[in-house]
A and B are shown apart, each in its own frame.
Chain A
Amino acid sequence: MTDESSNASGERRRPAGSVRHPAEHSAANEPPPSGQTLAAAQVTGQGLSRRDWLKGGARGVGLLGFGAAAGFLGTRESKAATRWQIDPNQCIQCGRCATACVLEVSAVKCVHSFSMCGYCKLCTGYFEPEPINLDEGAENQLCPTGALQRKFIEDPYYEYSINKDLCVGCGKCVKGCNMFGNGSLYLQVSHDRCVNCNICAIARECPAQAFRQVPVTKPYLLRGKGAAGK
């Protein structure tokens, strides 16, 4: 596309002495005429042609190399559509998920497996270690944002649920639930928020190496009944 214009003008711009006719290009890589030393050939400007020829060769090799690299990597590409996810069995609830994410409010949220939950009245994921009262008062709750909410079902059972808009992924409730409860609360990367970075900023900081890339077709590592189907 730029061939004609730039090439033609290029020829015109060369000052006399090193002018080359396009036809000379083909003869460029031929050895200098007999009786002429290499140095003399360089002086008369044929060294430039040699440089052009070398450049062309390097260009060809480079293009082949990039093609080969792309092909080689392409053979490993099939399972490439992935998303970042936390393996809840590896997670130690260090709290870095809340702070290390590139998003202002982390893409990691707490997930609750209802089928695993004991519906306890005294939930160690819900209450502070030493609550003043076993009620819904903010001073008694472990969750700093009030994202873990509960609803009375029947004595002595309460149903717990996460308000995702409030959850910041600090994992405090997860720690409490895993320590003394069933482990039905756990952290997951919420894919409506995750921007699927090239390398996950939290994965880089995760002390338990709990982050991994999972197929986009099965982007969650869920616990409890029916989790396998999702």
Chain B
Amino acid sequence: MTPDRIGSTGGQASRLSGPTGVPPVVALSDRQDALSAITGWKPVFLSGSSYLLPALMVVLLLLVSMDCVFGIQRFPPPDFSDHAVPETVVAAPQARGGGWLDVTVLAVGLGAATWLSLKRRSRVGIVVLSLAALAYFGFWRRGCVCAIGSIQNVALGIADPGYAVPIAVIALFTLPLAVALIWGRSFCAGVCPHGALQDLVLVKPHKVPGWLDEILRVLPWIYLALSVLLAATGSLFIICKFDPFVGIFRMAGPRSMLITGAVLLGISMWVGRPYCRYLCPYGVLLGVAARFARWRPTVTPDTCTQCRLCENSCPFGALNPPMPAKQGRERIASGRQRIVLLALMVPLAALLFGWAGGKVGIASLALHPDGNLATLVLMQERGELPAPPPDELTAYLQHGADRPAVITKAVALEARFVTLGRWIGVVFGLVLALKLARIFFPAGSNDYETDSGRCVSCARCFSTCPYELVRRGIPVPAPAKRSCGFQPLSSLPVPAPAKGEPNG
């Protein structure tokens, strides 16, 4: 139970906490004792004057080495009689239009996307808006700031009082979520440059099998959990680090980033929005918010006759076929089964993933610069480091090698990692349990309805609906002979165009 055990075995169970996984509640005095036992600071100063001289020499040596750190004038600048010493010139920061421009563009974009997808029902409009978003948030702002990465700023901003979140980032995080709560995922439809990029290259969508789709849709939750854990502890922003498209927006970047981007973009030609559906951590937040949406895109502007023409129109698996809700006794029985399943699953999943979250927290300690440094310092003391010391250690030695400070920081950090990891694990477990309940006991629907959590309001399905064609005044093509219960349109009641509707 000493801090000495940090980093002893990378990723192994609870280096500071007990084997039972109890949070490291080391009393302060214990910790100090442990520290002095390892650092040997106490003995140096307390065991007589024979140690004082070497100690002073160390201090002197440190001071001398400070020279190079703080730039001491070893060679005094010459006094020129006829030469003026130039001033150092630095470039002024690039004007970036300020955060409020981003906020304005975002608000206008969200309004336009909502209007185009829900009211105007125009796919062409959404495509045009996507191109504009791609141009502004993508290539002009070079993919930064973005709503997906804003999760991390918000997490760090809440966890760390000393961290200020820029106004554009606050808006990029909250506005799309607020809109999703009322009108669904308009942000994904035409404001997010990542979504726009994938959507615009989608040429021949293929369906992902249902079971695979459900499994892959867990990935963004894992990504979200990890990114919040690492951002809130101030370790690193993995969403930004592994962003596949930012390299494309900047037309530069590490090779791995560019290759990932190109591969994902290639996949998006056949699989609709792979990043949005199976990776995007902001997408899952929007999906949850959109489940509560008051209005959402509907395939038909009027009456669904279950003609099935829209059935395969959604490339994102967000269009549910009719599945009548159970009635009477069956409905009650199914409700009871669901409650039993949840009652069993929720505590189990919360406990299991809470435990696992703590483990993940400990394992990620070395991803924080302070945790990494403490690990390296202890490894070096045990002689486990290869010959050229890592740069982190060089920097540590050059800046005074304050070992107690490094270890104390790492101990506090590990406690934070474990606590946060557990909480995130509990939430993740709850999400999984609810996901399972929804898979086994789906909510019924009478018509072809969009899954509000998954629908990205792309407006593709609208034009497949014959009633939409009627609404727009486009001649409906004569139906082919089919045996699937398709009614001839002439037998349908033609709806009177509603007042104020476009093209009506």
Contact = CB atoms under 8 A, between A and B. Distances in A.
A112 B71 CA distance: 12
A82 B395 CA distance: 25
Interface in B233-265: 236-237, 240-241, 246-247, 250, 252-254
Q: Which of B96, B145, B181 has the most CB of A within 10 A?
A: B181
Interface in B151-209: 152-154, 157-158, 161, 163-167, 169-171, 173-174, 177-178, 181-183
B163 A102 contact: no
A187 to B, nearest CB: 12
Interface string A1-18: 111111111101111001
A42 B182 contact: no
A contact face: mostly helix, strand, loop, or mixed: loop
Interface residues of A, number: 97
Contacts of A120: 75
Contacts of A220: 90
A49 to B, nearest CB: 14
Interface in B289-308: 289, 292-295, 298, 300-304
B236 A43 contact: no
A166 B401 CA distance: 36
A146 interface: no
Contacts, number: 254
Contact of A183 (B68, B144, B446): B68
Contacts of A96: 391
B257 to A, nearest CB: 8
B109 to A, nearest CB: 16
A73 B75 contact: no
Interface string A189-230: 011111111110100100111100000100110111011001
A30 interface: no
Interface stretch (B30-38, B311-319, B326-334, B478-486): B326-334
Q: Which of B91, B149, B241 has the most CB of A within 10 A?
A: B91
B164 A77 contact: yes
A69 B154 contact: yes
A28 interface: no
Contacts of B28: none
B332 A102 contact: no
Q: Which of A62, A67, A89 has the most CB of B within 10 A?
A: A62
Contacts of B300: 9, 13
Interface stretch (B81-89, B215-223, B271-279): B81-89
A195 B71 contact: no
A9 B76 contact: no
Given A102-B250, A194-B94, A114 B177 contact: no
A58 B165 contact: no
Contacts of B399: 90, 208
Contact of B77 (A119, A186, A201): A119
B77 A102 contact: no
A227 B87 CA distance: 9
Contact of B88 (A5, A83, A113): A113
A116 B93 CA distance: 24
B473 interface: no
Interface of A: 1-10, 12-15, 18, 39, 42-43, 55-56, 58-59, 62-63, 66-67, 69-70, 72-74, 76-83, 88-90, 92, 94, 96, 102-104, 111-120, 153-154, 157, 159, 161, 178-184, 186, 188, 190-199, 201, 204, 207-210, 216, 219-220, 222-224, 226-227, 230
21 contacts: A2-B114, A4-B498, A66-B181, A67-B178, A72-B158, A73-B154, A73-B170, A77-B164, A82-B164, A102-B247, A111-B88, A112-B88, A113-B88, A159-B83, A207-B391, A208-B392, A208-B399, A210-B395, A219-B93, A226-B87, A227-B88
Given A79-B164, A210-B395, 10 more contacts: A2-B183, A5-B501, A42-B335, A63-B178, A117-B77, A182-B73, A182-B74, A186-B71, A191-B90, A194-B94
